[in-house]
Structure 1
Amino acid sequence: MTTLTAPDLTGYKTVLESEIKSFKENGHVMIPGVLDSNEVSYYRDAINKAAITYNTEKRKLEDRDTYGKAFLQITNLWEVDENVKNFSLAKRFGKIAADLLGVENVRIYHDQALYKEPGGGFTPWHQDQYYWPVDTDKTITMWMPLIDIDSEMGMLTFASGSHQSGFIENVPISDESEIMLQKFVNEKGYKIARAETMNAGDATWHYGWTLHSAPGNKSTDVVREVMTIIFVADGAKITEPQNKHQEADRQRWMAGSPAGELFASILNPVIL
């Protein structure tokens, strides 16, 4: 049962020094209880309704490639739904992102619902920032399950410390990235880390350069419902795109702003 009034997410949550230290060393951290049960229940309903409305993937699971089998991806729901806007532009999330990055303010890059269907495939190793034409490594992704999940449902998996290598391979999420980046992980001997369980409203946070992946969803009847938000430190500038995906991002998520300009388009409001 959800409340009739959208829960206020302006209240800050204290980030522990130990969490900041772990994030900087490992490139990722899990922070429990970012949302309470009432908050996550309300926003789960809102996000699910918006995701169903704006999902454009109509192919059967077996007819998709590796990327398509990994998850249903519905982006920038905050643009089209007022309740999702309250969620994605929440000061609570922005403050956690800023505290972990050690900056004063952050701007949103975009949000995306990532729903891994029952039987959905694995998510290959990749770096998020491969897609982002920005001149800073002060970037961070929040990954929040909207239901309780366990490691059998496609838990996010990290190569701890990999963010320190920066850009690794000019390759998008694909079978190719899985092969190339798995080899890199093996050669470097990174510790592989993933939570066994996460409650709805917990959230992991990782740098844009942190290598990560996820196994498939072994559940036969439960969708892994996850909402993500990407933040970039305020003051970053747009760089010349290095691949077609960065150019597509520049056009879509930066409102076509040219290289050299501040990352501050109408689609990238400051959160704090």
Structure 2
Amino acid sequence: MSKLNNLPSLNELHHLPEELIANYKHKGHTIVRGLAKQDEISIYREVISEIVKEHNNHTKPLHERDTYGKAFIQIANLWKISESVEKFVMARRFAKVAADLMGVPSVRIYHDQALFKEPGGGHTPWHQDQIYWPLDTDKTITLWMPLVPISEEVGSMTFASETHHNGYISKQEISDESHRTFKDYIEGKGIEQVNYGAMAAGDATFHSGWTLHSAPGNPTDQMREVMTIIYIADGLAIAEPGSNAQKNDLENWFPGQKAGDAAASPLNPIVYP
């Protein structure tokens, strides 16, 4: 336990300006610079990157993978693998920002994901996260935090502003087809696209579950190391799954639960307040 006690607590609260909250509600995305300090993020990066190395199940070289496989190494629920990562994922500092942006008093974890984009890794196609989630709500949000500095040529994800107001746009899962469909939709309607550019380790973007987003490829020789945490408002009910993807998510992230139950399995603890 001494090692855990030596980890930064990340429980000191971060207060957001009202204009940033209002801008998030309008556009469906925002950035919070310096949410974690450099010395804090460097300590957690060590354990997270080690877990990603241990659990990376890609066996094919990049050029032999499909578009999804080229996009990133994806490891979920690291908080169940490591008590050290649990301390990061359960951080009150991060959870309060999520609650304030959504305008709710209390939030739960849906799940976390490490998303490491390899050197030469491909783009992440346009998609909406929430097509995978058996939840009928607009009270979901994702924190996306680089563990290392990200250069301008890699940048943050790219967001299509105000698309979170539209709910389901298409139920296409992340793919070449979703990229074409949503790209045409965004360009056809003249929707603003925002990329926040270079990011420091510990900066974080937040986006709604319905906000259309994509990410460029990684043309550099450095791994793009990112940790994400998905939050949901406390008090939600599980919706009837409308696809196989949602059935899989119900089984994975709400184990033992069914439609109509509270979205509150043991994998979904309250993290704020």
TM-score band, normalised by the shorter chain? over 0.9
Partner of 1:269: 269
Match status 1:90 vs 2:91: yes
Partner of 1:229: 229
Match status 1:238 vs 2:238: yes
What is the rounded CA distance, in whole Å, between the counterparts of 1:154 and 1:229 in structure 2?
A: 19
Q: Name the stretch that deviates more: 3-12 or 229-238.
A: 3-12
Distance 1:56 1:154, change over 3 A: farther
Shift of 1:150: 2.2
CA contact (8 A) 1:154 1:224 kept: no
Q: Name the stretch that deviates more: 55-64 or 9-18.
A: 55-64
CA contact (8 A) 1:154 1:217 kept: no
Shift of 1:32: 0.4
Shift of 1:50: 1.4
Query: Which runs of at least 4 in structure 1 moved beyond 2 Å after TM superposition?
Result: none
Secondary structure, aligned partner of 1:271: strand
Q: Any idea what the Cα deviations from partners look like across 1:194-236, whole Å, max 9, x if unmatched?
A: 01211000000000000000110010x2000000000000001
Distance 1:266 1:3, change over 3 A: closer
Question: Aligned ranges for residues 240-255 of structure 1 at < 5 Å?
Answer: 240-255=240-255
CA contact (8 A) 1:120 1:216 kept: yes
What is the rounded CA distance, in whole Å, between the counterparts of 2:241 and 2:76 in structure 1?
A: 20
Secondary structure, aligned partner of 2:178: helix
Partner of 2:24: 23
Partner of 1:67: 68
What is the rounded CA distance, in whole Å, between the counterparts of 2:59 and 2:105 in structure 1?
A: 42
What is the rounded CA distance, in whole Å, between the counterparts of 1:14 and 1:158 in structure 2?
A: 24
Q: Unaligned regions of 5+ residues in structure 2, if any?
A: none
Q: Any idea what the Cα deviations from partners look like across 1:154-198, whole Å, max 9, x if unmatched?
A: 530000111111111011000010011111111221111001211
How many residue pairs are counted as aligned between the two chains?
270
State percent identity of aligned pairs: 50
Amino acid paired to 1:189: G
Shift of 1:4: 8.2
Amino acid paired to 1:231: Y
Q: Any idea what the Cα deviations from partners look like across 1:84-124, whole Å, max 9, x if unmatched?
A: 00001111111110000000111101100000001100000
CA contact (8 A) 2:138 2:210 kept: yes
Partner of 1:9: 10
**Once superposed, what is the RMSD of the aligned Cα atoms?**
1.4
Shift of 1:153: 2.1
Shift of 1:131: 0.6
Shift of 1:53: 1.6
Match status 1:110 vs 2:111: yes
- Name the TM-score, length of structure 1 as normaliser: 0.97
